[in-house]
Amino acid sequence: MTPATPNGSPLGFHSYDPGVAAGSLVMWGTPFPIGSGKVDIGAGTADLLVHNVCSVFDVFTVPNSFDPKHALGIFSAIINSMKIEWSGVTRSVLSFSDATNKFRGDFFECSATIAVSVTTPKDTGHGFHFESDPAKTHTDFAQFGTEHNGMFF
């Protein structure tokens, strides 16, 4: 989650990600409770609902996230809740297979909305809270599907 306003806001920059797990090269990945994300191919929908995601940091900007020294600082933050809903399929890519990147599956392009609440604790000195308005979601790209990659390809 990065600021969409290049010149920032009167409230300053805030950018949230989980970093890169130690010992892993998986970027910005974090465990969610099993079953928090669901795909319903028949209904043409998917959804994700999580609460209290504590494994995120406020890194202020994306470049600062990639800076090993985090010159702008880095503070533990929390996604209080997040609900993303995918619907309105506009294009289906069925039985797709990519031997180069070793993945296959059925994929459905659509639109999505997000309701998210995130907090940088006040005691960091950069206290910030954000509540999104799901009605004001613009989808650049969204899709859901079933996938098999790597050794499952």
Partner 1 sequence: MNDENSILWKKVQEKWLTRRNLIRGAAGTAAGAGLLLGSGLRLSALADGEDEGEHNKCKAVPRPIPHISTPPGTHFFFPGPVDASPTTSPNTGHDPSIITDFSGMVANADLIFSGTGTDLNTGASAKYDFHADMRFMDGVFVGLDNERHRGSIGFI
Q: Tokens 């191919």 label which residue?
A: 41
Q: Is 59 in the site for partner 1 (CB under 8 A)?
A: no
The answer to whether 68 and 57 have CB atoms below 8 angstroms apart is no
Q: Is 26 in the site for partner 1 (CB under 8 A)?
A: yes
The DSSP secondary-structure symbol of 26 reads: -
Q: Is 61 in the site for partner 1 (CB under 8 A)?
A: no
Q: Tokens 């954000």 label which residue?
A: 130
**Alpha-carbon gap, residue 74 to 133, rounded angstroms:** 26
To partner 1, the closest distance from the beta carbon of 43 in angstroms equals 13
Q: Residues 48, 61, 64, 70: which binds partner 1 (CB under 8 A)? A: 48
Q: Is 60 in the site for partner 1 (CB under 8 A)?
A: no
Q: Is 83 in the site for partner 1 (CB under 8 A)?
A: no
Q: Is 44 in the site for partner 1 (CB under 8 A)?
A: no
Q: Is 130 in the site for partner 1 (CB under 8 A)?
A: yes
The closest of 94, 89, 113 to 104, measured between CA atoms, is 94
Q: Is 150 in the site for partner 1 (CB under 8 A)?
A: yes
Angle at 138 between CA 136 and CA 143, to 5 degrees: 130
To partner 1, the closest distance from the beta carbon of 93 in angstroms equals 6
Q: Residues 1, 58, 59, 60: which binds partner 1 (CB under 8 A)? A: 1
Amino acid identity, position 143:
Q
To partner 1, the closest distance from the beta carbon of 69 in angstroms equals 16
**Alpha-carbon gap, residue 62 to 70, rounded angstroms:** 10
Q: Is 36 in the site for partner 1 (CB under 8 A)?
A: yes
